[in-house]
Each structure stands twice: as C-alpha cells, then as structure tokens.
Amino acid sequence: MKPHVLTPNVLSHFYAGGARIAALRGLELDSDHMPEEWLGAVNTTFDGTRGLSRLEDGTLVRDAIAADPAAYLGDLAEPGLLVKLLDAGQRLPVHFHPGREFAAAHLGSAHGKTEAWLIVEADPGAAVWVGWKRDVSLDEVRAWMRAQDAAAMLDAMHELPVAAGNAVYVPAGTAHAIGAGILMVEVQEPTDFSVLLEWDGFELSEDDGHLNLGWDLALQALDRAASPPPSATLPPEADAFFRAEWLGPGAFDAGFSILVGLEGTGTLATEGGDVPFSRGTVVLVPHAAGQGELRGDVRALRARPAR
C-alpha cells in the first residue's frame, strides 16, 4: 500500500494563530484564528463537529482504517494517536487535560490527553509553562480562577524557554500554557479534553472550561502536586502513549505513522510505492507500505503510536 498525502485540515479556534501553518503548508487561511491543523485525525473535537482528516480522494482516514485495519495498523487495535500542527499566535490559556482513569470514569473514553510538543519554530524569548513549582491547594486554584489571575497561575508554574528542535512532555493532569510565537507538532492521545483555568481575554466563558462536568468534578483531574522542571527532550515514559522522532535522509522501519516535512525537497520511497516529499508535505504511512526511506535534502518529523 502506497503512503497517502493528506489534504489540509486546518481548524478555527478560540485563540489566534495560523500564519506559520499557512507558510509551512503553502495555504491561504480564512482568518487569523485558525491555529491548529489536525493530521491523520480519526477523532473529532469535543463537540463532535469537526476534526476528522481525509485522504486525497476525500475518504475519511477513520473510514479507510476501518475498512482495512490490518493494512493500515498491522497488529495494532487502533492508531491511539492524534498529531497536530499548532501555531500559537498568542499565549494559550492555562489549562490541563484529564488522564485515562478519569476519562474512563467520567468521559466515556479509554484515552485521556497526555501530549508532547515538538518545537518546529520559536521566536527569540518564546517559552512554555509546565507544572507547578510547589504544591497548590484546591482553594488557591479556585481563587485564581475567580479572579482570573493569570499572572499568579503562571508565576506558580515552571517556565521553560524553547527553541526549534526541543521536545516537551506534558503528562495528563499537568497544568500548562503555551507561549506566543511557537510553531510545533503536537503528538497526543486521540481526544479533545481540555479543562481551562483561564478564559479572560479569549473567545471563551467560564462555562466553556469544564467539559460539561461542572467545576467540582473537573478539577479532580488536576494534579496539584509540585513537579520537577520540564526538560527539552522526551522521557522514556512517553513511549507508553506515543513516539516521535526527527528524521533526515535515510531508511526507517515499517509501521503506521504520520510524517511532516519540515525542510528540503525529495522523495518518500516505500515498498508500497513512492510519493514526492518536501517541506510542508504531510503523509500518512500505512503499515502495509513496508520499510521507507527519505531521499533528498529533506528533514521531517515522524509521529507513531505507542509501543
């Protein structure tokens, strides 16, 4: 089976961004609030209205996989993966994502939303905030929310300057915010579960933030314990959720994956067939494509399911 070049799938959102996605993908966007492109997505947004990706012939990726799961996934039961391009045109609100146990109990999902950020571009001084520097109490969090005191929330969190080539792991339950001026490939569990502690200054209200669970329940999914400062590499524990690697010219092993072209021009050659591959190309590689090789002066990011 030949790899599939994926058609654009850029989503409108409540925060600004999209210009860097447009530049990478060679697109014209309808507004300055189109900051995410979902790549190879088989799940929808939380409200179920959008998000599913399509192959070049218009077939939903979800339907193509369902029609021939062995060809696409090998011995995997599901992709278990969502890959995004995310362009932060402004700082995102402080938020967190539920973990698997909470999602199974309260959201009807086997997946939570552990994620990782692979930094493609970053303005000088760009930063992210991940995890609390100290233990925080529930009353303290509620007070910050009532006052919409973003400064206090950010001050209580670890700030990490980032640059192209960095990778930041964000376990479910961890409070975090992405700063402005960053283009990333986000690799995550296949859900759209976000609990928003901040809404002032965004196209949001307080009721948009708790996943229709109410705040008493939603805040139970927040990890309020102090965490170590984040690093700029992926730890081994990320492999239980997804895998990601930077690729240059050369061979890679078979397996379902999403490849995002970051630099150069060349070819993606596989046992199932070849496709042109360059900066801005996004390709879904089915398991049945077999072993692959990037040829030319290309550099890419490869996202894969968990081991």
Which of these three, 238, 260, 286, is where a domain ends? 238
pTM of the model: 0.97
CA distance 2 to 287: 10
Q: How many domains does the chain have?
A: 2
pLDDT in tens, 205-216: 999 999 999 999
Q: Is there a single domain that holds both residue 276 and residue 128?
A: no
Is the pLDDT at 307 greater than 90? The verdict is: no
Domain encompassing residue 121? 4-238
Q: Is there a single domain that holds both residue 234 and residue 246?
A: no
Q: Which two tokens stand for residue 63?
A: 């339907």
CA distance 182 to 159: 14
Question: Any idea what the Cα angle at residue 121 is, between residues 116 and 126, rounded to 5°?
Answer: 80
Q: Is there a single domain that holds both residue 281 and residue 160?
A: no
Q: Indicate which CATH number applies to the domain containing 246.
A: 2.60.120.10
Q: Which two tokens stand for residue 202?
A: 């965004």
CA 183: distance to chain centroid? 11
Q: Which two tokens stand for residue 236?
A: 């081994």
Residues 6+ apart with CB under 8 A from 208: 14, 196, 199
Q: Is there a single domain that holds both residue 131 and residue 253?
A: no
Q: Is there a single domain that holds both residue 206 and residue 261?
A: no
Q: Is there a single domain that holds both residue 78 and residue 47?
A: yes
Q: Is there a single domain that holds both residue 223 and residue 246?
A: no
Q: Is there a single domain that holds both residue 37 and residue 184?
A: yes
pLDDT in tens, 91-131: 999 999 999 999 999 999 999 999 999 999 999 999 999 99
Q: Is there a single domain that holds both residue 143 and residue 209?
A: yes
